A and B are shown apart, each in its own frame.
Chain A
Amino acid sequence: MLIAALVTAALFGVVFLTREPRYRTPRRLGIGTTVSVAAAAAVPGTMGPCGFADESTPVDHVLFFALMLTSSWIALIVTRAIFDRSDGASPDTSAMTGEIRSGGFRTKPWVPWLLLSPTLVILIVFLYTPAVQTFTLGTKLARLGAPNSIDVCLSNFSELLIVDPVRLVAYPLVAVAAVYATSWWRRATSKETWSHRLAEVASTLSVLGIFVALWAIFSPGGDGQVAYRPVYVTTLIITIGTVATGMIGGLAIAYLAFRNIRGGGVYRTLLIWPYAISPTVAGILFFMIFDPTAGIFQYLAEVWFGVDVPNYRESAILAQAAIILASGWKILGYNILFYLAGLQTVPTSQVEAAVIDGASAWQRFTKIVLPSLSPITFFLLVTNLTYAFFEIYATIDFMTKGAPAGKTSVAIYEIIRVGVNNGDLGRGAAQSVLLFVAVIGVTLWQFRTSGERVTYGGAT
């Protein structure tokens, strides 16, 4: 099985490089294939071919194989960059900066490395090393204070997934194929035609297909597997809810506060305050507001409206809504701050021209203001997602502790519950690698898709 995997890696290297004619020289193909195989072999080389061992499950085989190919892929990207460099081609950055293509400085080759070294050291010490260590820890059964740890290969990962290897491979492949197919369809059709509109709808749906595929490959529990599918669903709901609440609310309030009103400066300053509060305090505040026994909300609802509000922690929808509200409110100030800054860059001439042309306020907002804000929106999307993924632990811990029955236990909460509170370091590490990969995936995807629709002003 190991041999088959290495042969696949070799083929992968060839396929990867033959896509562009520049790389189709025998020498480069040779180098690429060797690098690809070597990188793939590095995986069993460092951790042993445990994923293909007899006692491992088919899912382990799949994961191990995927790990080897990922290693090849990263190595090939690096190789390609080196080829590009020797060809003198540099990545096209003009779209981002709108400036002239940069030339080279006349320096010794080591000077850039010297200048980069502080950043590189920080990245290596605080990002890459811990990432590798976390992954290593994720392949172990380990506890603090234990005399030793036990290698469990990839079982900490595979126990989060469904047990059927065929479906495990098929679902993501189908989803990714759908995304490529629809985007090709979109490009192949000409604008303003029905088939193009249809293609756009299909391409949006195919992105949703990826989320569905991920839903399908996480284990619903049973068969000795960890029920990770509910965690995935919860994370999705709370993350999307938080980001949507925070960004739409932030933009709406910023737009209102931006208008010329008396004392506008004071409003604008006060609006930023929630950002200065830590997630913990946000948790306590909302805990005090919504607490079923001592809460203000409960009391007011009863006194003013005579409504007996149910305990939000017992209903999945209410609990999730409360968490979304609290964490969305917390990030609101941050979003307002950036949107206020962004609104100042909206070209007034265009707005005035639109007024003269008789555009309504809503048209001006959607056709001029929103597109001008797209770089800010894109930036906020990334930071808000990161916030929703990593920083709402304290809010959840104070408000619901994951209740009811795990319906507000998002990925980061689950990691701390398993890895820190229960002391199961290996599983905690494995789940945190998963979250790490998810964040990388979401960010890459954002850069690819949002990048097309973001305008940074300038030439156009």
Chain B
Amino acid sequence: MRSRLRLFSLFAALGLVVAACGGGATEGTEAPADAPADAGAADGADGEVTTIGFWVAFSDEARLGFTKERAAEFNAKYPEYNIEVTSFASYNDVFDAAVLAVDSGEPPGIIHFFEAATRQALDAVGADGQPIFKSVTEAIGGRTEILGEPVILDDVVDAAKNYYTVNGSFYSMPWNTSSAIMFSNTDMLEAAGVMEIPETWAEVEAACEKVMAMPGAPAACITWPNHSWFVEQSLGQQGELLANNDNGRSGRATEVYLTSEGMIDYVSWWKDMADKGYYTYTGVQRDWDGTANAFLAQEVAMLIYSSSDTTFLTNSGKEAGFDVKASFMPYNGEREYVGNLIGGATLWLLNGMDKKAEDGALAFMNFFSNPENAAEWHRITGYIPITKSAEALLEQEGWYDESPNSRVASEQLAAAKNTPASLGALLGNFVAIRDIITIAIEDILVNDLDVAERMAQANEEANKSLAEYEALFGG
């Protein structure tokens, strides 16, 4: 869920168009020297190594490293395939590069793309009018194993399954999946006399009052990134839809609701917390690093964050000498709790591959999230174990007893009622609409604006943006 927008080295003004020339494709059909042609390989391989590009939006050592190791294992196990991992700075980069690569005829086989852009990925077509991606369910076509790799789709945990199921089937293969949870510096809370971790907005506020009143109080009490994802989480908790047609799940979403009661309540609470000096805004939109640093530097007692960094935050807290406890994201106590939603990304299969390449890509996807790999992925990051078998494996190993924080995200997702509100929206131009929400909130926090008025303006912009998207794709 950490779509940190990293460096786009400079696209100068005109570069926008020139860029269309460079696809950055890395596909190659030549065999690497160390991969012997294996005559006995499955699927009657003709001895030639098929290279499948796998474009990933991670660039950090831990997550990219994990990906590369799994690819290397797969390549060793299936010498007739060569999964080639390429790293990109952001999800948008991966997507743009993939669309351009399709048009220039050298696409990868698998790309890594995030949840909010699911609608965009479903709608995307190449210059020839063909869809860019192919439904994973359709490509698997009812098989229970591919090249000997068991298909894991039926085993995927409900929260991810429900989110990514469109028209009754998986279009993409779930991978990194998280939820928004809260991390508390329990040492600090206890010092302030807060013995129970707060669960509702009111309890958070009460706890903050105590924290800020204690001698040697931190700079502020709580923080979280100004990212629309947390707004969406809150709407899910309150059972409020973000878009019409059941959040775009019973039909295409054609209208967004940024002025709903749940939205106004949440943003008003947020602003109120900031006005009282309880919430500290780092001043940067989507600031994952800054907020985590503030928590680890003990400048705040609580942090609402993505569960994707559970392991990192827990260990870093320990190293800094304080206890970190994870809990559910605080909710509005005045409304019935409906459910939090997922965040993260899935693997999309590119359309138009030949049978052998496609099977290789599918086998890799299933191998990549097999119980052992999914459990390992969870352990090193904090993304939820994506399948029930992986969960069972972790349980059996005693992992959760060892690190109880890691269980919270899965539990929170399991506690959600399966309603359109808690599933989250499938929405066109979602990235731009998220941007509109983020900017509006920053405006409210920094310039002390009226919440209802500013959100009404954002609503107008977002609906215009959505209408334009539907004009392009919906027809």
Chain B positions 109-129 with a Cβ under 8 Å from a chain A Cβ:
120, 123-126, 129
Give the interface residue-count category, chain A: 35 or more
Distance between B391 CB and nearest chain A CB, rounded to angstroms? 35
The reply to whether A436 and B14 form a contact with Cβ atoms under 8 Å apart is yes
Query: Residue B129 contacts which of A147, A401, A412 (CB distance < 8 angstroms)?
Result: A147
The reply to whether B435 and A134 form a contact with Cβ atoms under 8 Å apart is no
Residues in A lying within 8 Å of B, measured CB to CB: 126-127, 130-131, 133-134, 137, 141-150, 224, 278-280, 291-294, 311-314, 319, 390-391, 393-394, 397, 400-406, 412, 415-417, 419-425, 428-429, 432-433, 435-436
Query: Residue A130 contacts which of B14, B95, B471, B473 (CB distance < 8 angstroms)?
Result: B14
Q: Name the CB-closest residue of B to A283.
A: B7
Kindly state the separation between the CA atoms of A294 and B219 in the bound complex, as whole angstroms: 13
Query: What residues on A are CB-neighbors of B11 within 8 Å?
Result: 393, 415-416, 420
Chain B, 207-232, contact with A by CB distance < 8 Å: what is the 0/1 string? Answer: 00000000000000000000000000
Number of A-B contacts (CB under 8 A): 153
Kindly state the separation between the CA atoms of A313 and B289 in the bound complex, as whole angstroms: 15
A293-B293, A432-B16 known; A143+B469 contact, CB < 8 A: yes
Most B C-beta atoms less than 10 A away, residue of A403, A432, A435: A403
Q: Does B373 contact A (CB under 8 A)?
A: no
Query: Residue B439 contacts which of A137, A405, A416 (CB distance < 8 angstroms)?
Result: A405
Chain B, 12-23, contact with A by CB distance < 8 Å: what is the 0/1 string? Answer: 111011100000
Known: A311-B282, A421-B431. 11 other contacts (CB 8 A): A133-B17, A134-B13, A145-B126, A278-B9, A291-B290, A390-B13, A393-B8, A393-B10, A401-B285, A421-B435, A433-B13
A145-B120, A145-B124, A280-B7 known; A422+B16 contact, CB < 8 A: no
Q: Does B443 contact A (CB under 8 A)?
A: yes
Query: Residue B13 contacts which of A148, A405, A412 (CB distance < 8 angstroms)?
Result: A412
Kindly state the separation between the CA atoms of A292 and B300 in the bound complex, as whole angstroms: 13
Could you pull out 22 A-B pairs where Cβ atoms are within 8 angstroms? A134-B16, A144-B95, A145-B123, A145-B124, A147-B125, A147-B473, A149-B472, A150-B472, A293-B290, A293-B293, A393-B8, A393-B11, A401-B287, A412-B12, A419-B16, A421-B5, A421-B435, A422-B432, A423-B120, A423-B429, A432-B13, A436-B14
A146-B125, A293-B299, A422-B432 known; A391+B10 contact, CB < 8 A: yes
Chain B, 297-315, contact with A by CB distance < 8 Å: what is the 0/1 string? Answer: 1010000000000000000
The reply to whether A294 and B471 form a contact with Cβ atoms under 8 Å apart is no
Distance between B170 CB and nearest chain A CB, rounded to angstroms? 20
Query: Residue B9 contacts which of A130, A143, A280, A319 (CB distance < 8 angstroms)?
Result: A280
Q: Does B407 contact A (CB under 8 A)?
A: no
Query: Residue B16 contacts which of A146, A403, A406, A415 (CB distance < 8 angstroms)?
Result: A415
The reply to whether B100 and A144 form a contact with Cβ atoms under 8 Å apart is yes
Residues in B lying within 8 Å of A, measured CB to CB: 5, 7-14, 16-18, 92, 95-96, 99-100, 120, 123-126, 129, 132, 281-287, 290, 293-294, 297, 299, 429, 431-432, 435, 439, 442-443, 446-447, 460, 464, 468-469, 471-473
Kindly state the separation between the CA atoms of A111 and B175 in the bound complex, as whole angstroms: 63
Q: Name the CB-closest residue of A to B428.
A: A143
Kindly state the separation between the CA atoms of A41 and B50 in the bound complex, as whole angstroms: 55
A144-B99, A422-B431 known; A405+B443 contact, CB < 8 A: yes
Most B C-beta atoms less than 10 A away, residue of A144, A292, A312, A394: A144
Distance between A416 CB and nearest chain B CB, rounded to angstroms? 6
The reply to whether B293 and A311 form a contact with Cβ atoms under 8 Å apart is no
Kindly state the separation between the CA atoms of A384 and B284 in the bound complex, as whole angstroms: 27
The reply to whether B132 and A145 form a contact with Cβ atoms under 8 Å apart is yes
Kindly state the separation between the CA atoms of A150 and B475 in the bound complex, as whole angstroms: 12
Kindly state the separation between the CA atoms of A144 and B103 in the bound complex, as whole angstroms: 11
Kindly state the separation between the CA atoms of A421 and B117 in the bound complex, as whole angstroms: 12
